[in-house]
Each structure stands twice: as structure tokens, then as C-alpha cells.
Structure 1
Amino acid sequence: MLIVGMGYVGHALGQALDREGVQWLGWRRQADDDPRIRPVDLDAETLSADGAGTRRIVYLAPPPKSGAGDPRLRRLLAALESEPPERFVYASTTGVYGNQHGAVVTEEASLQAASPRALRRLDAEQALVEAASRWGTQWAILRLPGIYGPGRLREEAIRAGLELPCPEVCPPGNRIHRDDIVAVIQRLVVSGAPTGFFNLADAEHMSSTDFATAVAQRIGVVLPPCIPDIDAYYAAHPGMASFLREQRWVDSSRVRQALDWAPRYDDAISGIEASLGGDRERR
């Protein structure tokens, strides 16, 4: 198996595959101490397919932060033309749905991607489906919301006095624990696994305010007073506006039914507590 993008999820996937005795190779931009991980520049004008000719590929690398489309994925697909994989799993984003005004969103929902980063993900999805259809490759696209887990709870920001909108004005959120993403990927790369588009989210949809408050309570931090006006919050924190203004309730029934699977952390509290425990074990 080839894992393209040995970041937060990629490293966890590699560790899970090790526990199962599955052989894998990894690509990342920087060199790594693990000899199985090869430094590869996905922004290079030409991309060598050497090392990509595996039966299964899991693509976790993000698109570039600027520009149109995802030339990184397209370069890899071009390099695979002579030896396409049997299965290809791509990690996308629920951002491709855009603002659904709080509606429940299944995989059949209209794609209203508006932000540049979501449009780049949508381009990547379309490129993969076109290539896989041409090759006869089995494919699965995971549409992921906010990812959290050990080391991804915004603890530093919370300890520094993170400002939040008040609970009554903060919309519901969508998130998934890193380990649940890994578990689904492991099931999707096996022979005979289902194909298509799959949303992946927990069942709770806790707001970002309630989530950060739950973390703060468990690490003994008192947060500053919340901001009661959501527009005032957006003005003070424009980086959060694009996330909170796009309101949707992501439904992940399809992947649960297709894999006969349920998240290990289907509620945020259990995921937060497990993540904090994992951080302490590493220390």
C-alpha cells in the first residue's frame, strides 16, 4: 500500500497497518527517519511513478494553498497511467457541499463549494473519478469534516485564552476523530470493499464553542467571557467565519451501513477524553 501524505492521519494509518502486519510505503515532502517513507515533491513539474505502482493507494495530501484545482493529485494520476492501482482512497472534505443552511447533508446533496480550498478539493474528486473510471480502478472518496484527536484539541489556544462565540449563537459543527478515519480507511482498502462517496462524521454535531469548552474544563482552564454577537465574533476572528457560516449537518449513515461499522468516538466527549489520555501517555 502507498500512503501519499504522511501527516497527522497518515502516520496514524501507518501505525495501524504495522499492528496488522500490512506492508506499506509512504510519501511526504520532507525526509523521514523511517526508511519506508520517501521524500517526494508533489509540486515538481514531473512526478516519477517509481514507488507508486502498488495495488492500493491512500491519498491524504492536501491541494496547494493557492491557485485553481489540485495539480498535485493530477500529476500523480498522470504518473499512474501506465500502471494504475486496483483501489484508490482519497480524503476530501465536507466543504464541497458549501453552505447548506443547516440542512442534513447526505452524499446526494448538491455540491455548492464556494471557498477556494473547497473548490480545489472538488477538482481533485472529479479528477480521481475520471481516471478511476477510465482505468477500471475501484475508488472511494471520504468527505471529512473537522479532524481532531491527540494533539489536535487546540489546547495551546485554549490555554492562551481562546475567544468563542456564545453557545446560543454558535451553530452545530461536524467533526471526526483521527482514529475513526483510520479505521474506515483500513476497511475501504481491502478487496471487495464498497466504492463511491462517503461522508464521515460523528453523531453528535457539537458546536465549536461547546467542544472547546469541554476541552477547557478537562484541562483546568477558565475561558474568557464568550462573544454574544456572532458578527462581532466573525469580525474579530475572520479565519473562523468561513467555517461557521457554512452550516450543514453531515449525515454519515451510508458509510456506517456499507461497512457495518460505527465510530469508536461517536460523541465528542469520549473522543476528547481519549485524546487527552493519548497525549499524556506520549509525555
Structure 2
Amino acid sequence: MIATRKLRRARVLIAGCGDVGLRCAPLLTQRAAAPRVIALTSQPARAAELRAAGTTPLLGNLDERRSLRRLAGLASTVLHLAPPQKSGSDDLRTRALIAALSRPRRSVARMATAALGRQRAWRGWFRATFKRRAGATKRASIVPDRVSGAVVRRLPIRVVYASTSGVYGDCGGARIDETRRVRPDNGRAKRRVSAEMQLRRATRRGAMSASIVRIPGIYAANRLPLARLQKGTPALAAADDVFTNHIHADDLAAIMVLAIRRARPQRVIHASDDSELRMGDYFDRIADAYGLPRAPRVSREDAEAQLEPMMLSFMRESRRLKNTRLRDELRYTLRYPSIDDFLSGVMSGITTGITSEPATSRAK
């Protein structure tokens, strides 16, 4: 019975188990009837870290399709948190993951056939021992006599994909909801659109049931632009500044886990907090909370000459995300409705263990 319960235990696969994935793991495992959480990793050195987080590490690389063969039939639910590769307009990693998840799991049929053989052998021994007559009443069978398609057939895999709000491109500071047409401005966003389209097509053909969570800039105690502020990297002057959106990593992890049960197939959800900040104001709030000098402000023309391309790409896009579906459909209450709610804890000395990270720590 113990073995049977283990086999029946639900499984969740996390593809791309980085910082957010590690925050998702305890939310999945610390509840009644918790599923077994499997973390796909291409780095054997991370096995201990992943086990400590309550997951079972599985070695596989989304850039090497042959390493993904064990994913077929492995889990009924997938949190797809892996970013695309760094070049091209097609997300080859999502393509490889869909192919691996959609592949028929032949071992299911082999297991059923083997079980049927064992059952028939047991019946023969039982009849020989107790001299059962050929016309004796047939006993109920645990494993059916035929390995039909019904035995092998599986329900569509549930997939929640972590995309980016960058798929909208520059919206001129407009408030937008999830029905806004995508208009990616760079290769990074185009690859994200490619991933979304692949998952939509897989859902339409019945291979899976996918929902999409579009994510803006992610912040947390270990994901703040402190090094940028210490270095004195400039921000845009108020006249040229852009609206930017944010979400705390803990809120994001909770949203991803909740989306497994509550997000509709083919549905897009904005995982964004309630704030409407310009990028420079966001930097100023963090600088004030940590007692650092505010970032100097420069014109867009000067920024083009001084800043790296990654940061400039974020400074060319301005939009304000509506999160109505997050509240009404997922029925999620934000732990940190704005960066100010998080920083109030910092200023009160509640938040500890702060480390710095470049400001580009957003969904890419």
C-alpha cells in the first residue's frame, strides 16, 4: 500500500528552478497531499541545493533534447520558468520541452503488460494449488486483460509559463491589460512571444493545458539594484523617464503556484503589483531606504552614450500593467502591493540579509 501511494502521488516538474523556482518549491510541498516536486537542472553541482529545498533534482538540459527523454509522462503539472536561449527569434528551449512532455511514454504500456503477465502467472499458481475448475467464478482483475489505449492515455499536462511583460514593447506609458496585442521590440521579447505561441498551439491540439503569466521587473532582498546605486550609474531625467512595473519574488512564486489551479487554459495573467512608478523614482526609493546616494539623472541622449544595451532596452519601454485578473480570477492578495510596502520593513530593520544585484533582474 505504501508503494501504491507513492506511485499515485502527484508530481510537479519545475523547469528552470532558479530563485523563483526555489521559492515555489516550499509552497508546493508544505501542504496536505503535497505533490512530489521535481526540479530539472543542467548543473549536477546544484543537486544538494535543490534537495535542501524539498525537491528531487533531475539532470537534463533544455539545449540538449536527448537529455530530456525521461520527462515523458513524468509529471502532470509543469512550472515552466526557464528563460529562452540568448539568440534567435524562436525559443528553442520551450520547443524542446514541449516535445519531451508530449512524447508518448511507452514504459506505461510495458509496465501494464508486465503486470498482466504477473497476474496471469499468479492465477495459474492459484488454480493449480487449489484445483479450481475451469468454470469457477471469475475474480475481479486489478490490471485489465488488455493493454488498451485507455490504459496509456493521459490527461493533458497542466503547464504554467513564466513569460515577460516585455512582449508588449513600448506602450508610451499607457495602462494596459492582458488583451493588449504583443509587439516585441527586441530579440529577447520575440523569443518570449515564440514560447507563448508554441504553448498555445500545443494547448489547441490537446497535448497540454497551458496558461501564461507575464512578469515585469522582479525584486526581493537579494534582487535589488544596490550595486548599480553604489556605482553611481545614471537614471533618466524626469522628462525622459519611463513607467516600469514590479513584483516581489515571494508574491510571484505564490502567483505561479496558484495559477496551477485557478488560471484558465490559454489565459494570460499579469503578475504585477499595484504601483505606478517611473524607473528613476524606483531607484530613488531604494537608495533612500538603504542610505545610498540617489542615481544621477541624465537625458536620454546622454544615457544612450553611457549605459549598457540591456539597461537601455528597458529604458525604451514605458507601460503600466493592470492586474485586474490577478485579483478577480486568481483571487490573490498581494503581500507587497508596492515597493514601499517592502522598503518599510527594510527601514524598520525587519528585513535582513540584504545583498545587491544589478537592476536588470526582471523576467527576460
Say yes or no: TM over 0.5: yes
* 1:60 positional shift: 0.3
Q: Which residue of 1 aligns with 2:338?
A: 267
Does 1:144 pair with 2:157? no
* 1:78 positional shift: 0.7
Contact 2:62 2:68 in 1 (8 A): no
Instruction: Name whichever of 87-96 and 7-16 sits farther off.
Output: 7-16
Contact 1:151 1:275 in 2 (8 A): no
Q: Which residue of 2 aligns with 1:41?
A: 61
Aligned-pair identity in percent equals 29
Instruction: Name whichever of 181-190 and 165-174 sits farther off.
Output: 165-174
Does 1:235 pair with 2:256? no
Contact 1:206 1:268 in 2 (8 A): no
* 1:174 positional shift: 0.9
Q: Which residue of 2 aligns with 1:25?
A: 38
For 1:112, which of 161, 177, 183 is the aligned residue? Answer: 183
Instruction: Name whichever of 158-167 and 181-190 sits farther off.
Output: 158-167
C-alpha distance 138-280 of structure 1, shift in aligned 2 (>3 A): same
C-alpha distance 133-47 of structure 1, shift in aligned 2 (>3 A): farther
* 1:147 positional shift: 0.9
CA distance, structure 1, for counterparts of residue 230 and residue 243 of structure 2: 23
CA distance, structure 2, for counterparts of residue 99 and residue 224 of structure 1: 23
C-alpha distance 102-193 of structure 1, shift in aligned 2 (>3 A): closer
CA distance, structure 2, for counterparts of residue 273 and residue 8 of structure 1: 23
CA distance, structure 1, for counterparts of residue 295 and residue 173 of structure 2: 28
Q: Which residue of 2 aligns with 1:50?
A: 70
**AA at the equivalent of 1:148:** Y
C-alpha distance 156-183 of structure 1, shift in aligned 2 (>3 A): same
Partner of 1:89, secondary structure, is strand
Deviations 1:50-106 (A, max 9, x none): 145211000000000112311111111111222675310000011111111222211
Where does structure 1 lack aligned partners over 5 or more consecutive residues? none
C-alpha distance 89-224 of structure 1, shift in aligned 2 (>3 A): closer
Contact 1:99 1:248 in 2 (8 A): yes
C-alpha distance 278-180 of structure 1, shift in aligned 2 (>3 A): same
For 1:61, which of 77, 82, 89 is the aligned residue? Answer: 82
Instruction: Name whichever of 63-72 and 232-241 sits farther off.
Output: 232-241
CA distance, structure 2, for counterparts of residue 223 and residue 154 of structure 1: 12
Q: Which residue of 2 aligns with 1:91?
A: 162
**AA at the equivalent of 2:305:** A
Where does structure 2 lack aligned partners over 5 or more consecutive residues? 1-11, 106-153, 356-364
**AA at the equivalent of 1:7:** G
CA distance, structure 1, for counterparts of residue 36 and residue 321 of structure 2: 33
C-alpha distance 55-204 of structure 1, shift in aligned 2 (>3 A): same
Deviations 1:201-229 (A, max 9, x none): 111121221111111111111235322x2
Does 1:280 pair with 2:353? yes
* 1:7 positional shift: 0.8
- After superposition, the CA RMSD in angstroms is 2.2
Does 1:180 pair with 2:248? no
CA distance, structure 1, for counterparts of residue 314 and residue 268 of structure 2: 22
CA distance, structure 1, for counterparts of residue 346 and residue 28 of structure 2: 20
Deviations 1:130-159 (A, max 9, x none): 112212632210011111112111112222
CA distance, structure 1, for counterparts of residue 335 and residue 219 of structure 2: 13
Contact 2:229 2:295 in 1 (8 A): no
**AA at the equivalent of 1:234:** E
Q: Which residue of 2 aligns with 1:214?
A: 285
Partner of 1:135, secondary structure, is coil
Partner of 2:96, secondary structure, is helix
Q: TM-score, normalised by structure 2?
A: 0.71
Q: TM-score, normalised by structure 1?
A: 0.90
CA distance, structure 1, for counterparts of residue 209 and residue 338 of structure 2: 31
